[in-house]
Structure 1
Amino acid sequence: MGIRLISRAAAVVLGLGVIVAGCVDRSRVSRDDSRPRVLTTFTVLADLARNVAGDRLQVHSIVKEGAEIHGYQPTPSDIERSVGADLLVENGLGLELWARRFTAAAGDIPTVTLSEGMEPLLIRADAYAGKPNPHAWMSPKRAMDYVDRLRDAFTNLDPDGAEDYANNAEAYNKKLQALDGELREVLATIPPQHRVLVSCEGAFTYLATDYGLEEAFLWPVNAESEITPKRMARLINIVRERAVPAVFCESTVSDKAQREVAAAANSRFGGTFFVDSLSKPDGPAPTLLELQRHNVKLILDGLTDRGGDG
């Protein structure tokens, strides 16, 4: 089912401070809920997992809303909460390099990698050129593959729930299929001369490829987010030469440089995307479906001259 066991390291410091397995107070981990416990590396995957799990599993995200996942540093409380977890769900494609240190400290946790077996799109610029772009969940079609892998992993974990997981996965994939059609129809209305999507991180490669947009960005991934004069100048030239009406940035990084790009290129800042993290429940992107609709509304408003400064 794509699940593997990650061996526990003999020494479990590995960048997590002075945490060792024996220091975790297991008595503080709640056992009131007897359902199998699933951890996901970040909130988007938690939302997918909950839609497939229904009420049969506990699902918790290690990284909380609003946090940057590329270079995340697990905390002692993260380690403590993970003790006794039955499954870890990760994205893969080089996104959560910290996850190996996490599982070394938390103990042997069966792990499923949702992108396993997927043919990724590659990063084409800067230091990460030739490496997989990890943001495959931004394509509704590829998110359907994530759902299928979750269904199989949960069935392996809890065989008695196989029918529930299959039904939940089918129902959610129908929502993703409908979302794909919705985004395709909406994004097709953007004029050809404005079909350039400019963000801080190159996180929209999958979405841009699916719906016929070009992509430009300040840095390829947030792990490589140094703002150099060369990167700034290159993006300013693209925005100016293509007369891009609006540029955007993601919620987990500062938008200061992108606002400077907009000012220098006679464009405007079109708003804040959610990609690597959901919003709080009362925010604009509390689920993956709402995240996509929020982002696409900003894109449509910004690139069809319908919006104001974000």
Structure 2
Amino acid sequence: MRRRVWPLAWGLALVVASITGCGGGEAPAGDDRPMVLTTFTVLADMAQNVAGEHLVIESITKPGTEIHGYEPTPRDVAKASQADLVLDNGLGLEGWFEQFANQADVPHVVVSEGVEVVDITEDAYAGKPNPHAWMSPTEAQIYVDNMAAAFAELDPDHAADFEARAADYQQEIQQVHDALLEELEPLASNERALVTCEGAFSYLARDADLTEHYIWPVNAEQEATPQQIAATIEFVEGNDVPAVFCESTVSDKAMLRVVEATGTTYGGTLYVDSLSEAEGPVPTYLELIQHDAQTIATALTGGA
């Protein structure tokens, strides 16, 4: 029986994952540490792992929030105006951010700067960058470097600590990448397919040499079209895809129609745009990518 590597990667990564959920919370009265806001919970947790106790880290959006169409509140703007720095993903993820940053008048850093961008290839979004680069453990390490550099500029006295924490965190992220590649190695070519509701896994699919197919390219308010569902059914049947998936922030109704029509397996729920609450399944970024990698590998390999 082939040795499984998940428990090792999981255990190592949880050392860091246990540090924090999705940010350090509000600073107590009189706390003079710099405050950093992030646009969503995934970035907040990554930032907290780099910042340690030197900075106060908070997320503008809450766990479970769909980030693409978020509408900032006046309270969000007021809070940002008191922050020292805001971290945003960029790549078109936060369509609301430019106006928000102008209203808050606060410095910001785009943490995806320097990633190897994958473009969306379908529908009205064709040619635009896919914004979900953090879903690649490889590209996520660039996010970590950008955070460490931004924090060093914000708080030079702790620059060496930020750099050291970033390096340790990157090792934990790399463990997930390595475990996923090893687990997927025996798959036949037709089984190396990642079929999801949203096209949020382009970077992960590229890293793992998986063919990506999705029902819609970017989460939106409207239901999936009959044409999108039909195209997904055709892909699954034509490639004998062993399992399909959907994301936690959208309804899986359309994907379950694909399952019913093709007889494939529903492989499980994946997490992308948001962490869960502390008691939920993915309260940290490391647990998010661990969960997704393990769910994908287990479903595509038949649980071998």
Normalised-by-shorter TM-score class: 0.7 to 0.9
Give 1:75's aligned residue. 73
Q: Using the alignment, how far apart are the partners of 2:167 and 2:105 within structure 1?
A: 31
- The aligned counterpart of 1:292 is 289
Alignment correspondent of 2:21: none
Aligned-partner residue type, residue 286 of structure 2: L
What CA deviation, in whole Å up to 9, does each residue of 1:232-279 have, x standing for no partner? 110011112212222111111111111111111111322110011111
Q: Which digits, 9 at most, give the CA deviation of each residue in 1:78-100, with x for residues without a partner?
A: 23332310000001001011112
Matching residue within 131, 134, 138 for 2:135: 138
Go from structure 1 to structure 2 and tell me whether the alpha carbon gap of 1:225 and 1:115 turns closer, same or farther (over 3 Å shift): farther
Counterpart CA distance in 2 for 1:297 and 1:166 is 29
Tell me the residue number matched to 2:205: 208
Displacement after TM superposition at 1:39 (Å): 0.3
> Is the alpha carbon distance of 1:236 and 1:305 closer, same or farther for their aligned partners in structure 2, counting shifts above 3 Å?
same
- Seen in structure 2, the aligned counterparts of structure 1 residues 70 and 112 have a Cα distance that, compared at 3 Å, is same
Measure the CA separation in 2 of the matches of 1:63 and 1:165: 24
Task: Please report how far the alpha carbon of residue 57 of structure 1 lies from its aligned counterpart in structure 2 after TM superposition.
Answer: 0.3
3-state SS of paired residue (1:222): coil
The 5-angstrom pairing of residues 1-310 of structure 1 reads: 31-105=29-103, 107-223=104-220, 226-306=223-303
Q: Which amino acid aligns with 2:157?
A: D
- In the TM superposition, what is the alpha-carbon distance from 1:189 to its structure 2 partner? 3.4
Change in 2 beyond 3 A, CA 1:306/1:273: same
Identify the residue that residue 13 of structure 1 maps to in structure 2.
none
How far 1:62 sits from its partner (Å)?
0.7
Runs of 5+ consecutive residues of structure 1 not aligned to the other structure:
1-28
**Alpha-carbon deviations, 1:107-136, whole Å to 9, x = none?**
211100011233301111111111111111
Deviation digits for residues 3-54 of structure 1 (CA, Å, limit 9, x no counterpart): xxxxxxxxxxxxxxxxxxxxxxxxxx97442211000001111111001100
Work out whether residues 236 and 261 of structure 1, in 8 Å CA contact, stay in contact via their aligned partners in 2. Answer: yes
Q: Verify the 8 A CA contact 2:180 2:297 in the aligned structure 1.
A: no
Contact 1:51 1:168 in 2 (8 A): yes
Indicate conservation of the 8 Å contact 1:219/1:225, yes or no.
no
Aligned to 1:25: none
Counterpart AA for 2:247: E
Following the alignment from structure 2 to structure 1, what is the Cα–Cα distance between the partners of residues 153 and 69? Answer: 30
Q: CA deviation at 1:193?
A: 2.5
Equivalent-residue separation in structure 2 for 1:191 and 1:281 (angstroms): 37
Identity of aligned residues (%): 52
How far apart are residue 55 of structure 1 and its match? 0.3
Q: For the residues of structure 2 that align with 1:130 and 1:190, how far apart are their CA atoms?
A: 30
TM norm structure 2: 0.87
CA RMSD of aligned residues (A): 1.9
Distance in 1 of aligned mates of 2:221 and 2:181:
30
Distance of 1:55 and 1:182 partners within structure 2: 30
| Aligned-partner SS, 2:212 | strand
Amino acid at match of 2:72: P
Which deviates the most, 126-135 or 71-80?
71-80
Partner of 1:18: none
**Amino acid aligned to 1:215:** E
Cα deviations by residue, 1:196-254 (Å, 9 ceiling, x for unpaired) = 11100011111111111011101111147641111111001111221222211111111
CA distance in 2: counterparts of 1:181 and 1:225, whole angstroms: 37
Normalising by structure 1, report the TM-score.
0.85
Helix, strand or coil for the counterpart of 1:270? Answer: strand
Secondary structure of the 1:206 match is helix
Report SS of the residue matched to 2:82. coil
Larger Rg: 1
